[in-house]
Structure 1
Amino acid sequence: MNFDNLKKIYQFSESSHKDDYWKEMFGSNDKEWFTHATNPIKNSDTFPACDYYIFESRYYIDIELPGIDVDHLTVKINNHILHIEGYYQTLMPNCSYLLKERQNKHFLKKITIPTYVDEKTINKIYKNGILQLSFSRKE
């Protein structure tokens, strides 16, 4: 690897954790997308963990929901707020736990959707424990 490539990697590692770097990368038109709290999931009590991103002009939200019965999930949008509600059940009946680390609780996740996203174009896919929601931009 030459020195120029090493320099680029170093510059990326120095900048990639800053919000301004990602705002610049995704463009100034998407400022609204970055108005949510930026605390990582491991440093908060937010549940379930989500990723927000833009790919090929669509807006995606991937939500970790392993073992969830999607028929018992409620997904709705009201005034540009996406509500995801359900119950994460991990307790096994009639057993004595020696270690219990997985959460067992009701959850309600609220995510602000930018006004320029077309809420009527929501697409839902549940695969391998990930609920993926996607939206297009309003024309």
Structure 2
Amino acid sequence: MEVEKLKYWLDLTRQYAAESFWKEAFSQETNPFLSSGHIQNLSLAPKGGSSECFPRCDLYKYKDKLFVEAELPGMAREHAAITLKGKQLTIRGHYSTFKPNLTYFLKERCDQSFEKNINLPFRVNHHEIQSNLDKGLLTIILPIISEEEAVPIHIEHSASAEASHQLQE
């Protein structure tokens, strides 16, 4: 079991090295892990067998919609689940790459469960959310609920207002 953990950590370090993770992390003047606008949910330690860095996602706004794109290569849509609670979008799934009755000479793709939590910057209309999984790219379209503008209310002066003011004295 310890060997599996070691393999997992080696895979993570290879992934981060390939992305120049450490170079980018230490080249910024401010702490990138606390930056509210660019890096979120970055965690090197898996939580409950999942990794916050997987799947890789993009979150962007186009016109009046938020788009989330997540890389899920080789995953069938029935093995993925998407939930929305408040302004937190969660993508869960399980990769199963092991095939019984085969003799493996190289096995780098491991079975893994994942859970990715994404904090949305806007409230969305949960009745009109659309999602699609095509060629390993999960796309979720979330229509933004526009915040109502403040409407000024005119306060009228009346005799009853004067009477209530006199009662308070």
Q: Give TM-score scaled by structure 1 length.
A: 0.63
The amino acid that maps onto 1:112 is: N
Q: Over aligned residues, Cα RMSD in angstroms? A: 2.8
Q: Conserved in 2, the CA contact under 8 Å of 1:89 and 1:105?
A: yes
Q: CA deviation at 1:118?
A: 2.9
Q: Give TM-score scaled by structure 2 length.
A: 0.53
Q: Which residue of 2 aligns with 1:51?
A: 58
Change (3 A) 1:36 1:80: farther
Are 1:66 and 2:73 an aligned pair?
A: yes
Are 1:96 and 2:103 an aligned pair?
A: yes
Offset from partner CA, 1:38-63 (integer Å, 9 cap, x none): 75x9xx86111111122233211111
Q: Equivalent of 1:87, from 94, 97, 109?
A: 94
Offset from partner CA, 1:14-33 (integer Å, 9 cap, x none): xxxx8xxxxxxxxxxxxx8x
Which of structure 1's runs of 4+ aligned residues deviate more than 6 A? none
The amino acid that maps onto 2:82 is: V
Higher relative contact order, chain-length normalized (CA < 8 Å, sep 6+): 1
Q: Which segments of 5 or more consecutive residues in structure 1 lack a partner in the other structure?
A: 1-17, 19-31
Structure that is richer in strand per residue? 1
Change (3 A) 1:72 1:96: same
Q: Conserved in 2, the CA contact under 8 Å of 1:36 and 1:112?
A: no
Q: Which segments of 5 or more consecutive residues in structure 2 lack a partner in the other structure?
A: 1-27, 29-35, 45-50, 147-169
The amino acid that maps onto 1:37 is: Q
CA distance in 2, matches of 1:82, 1:106: 17
Q: Which residue of 2 aligns with 1:128?
A: 135
CA distance in 2, matches of 1:111, 1:35: 12
- Highest Rg: 1 or 2? 2
* Helix, strand or coil at the partner of 2:91: strand
The amino acid that maps onto 2:75 is: I
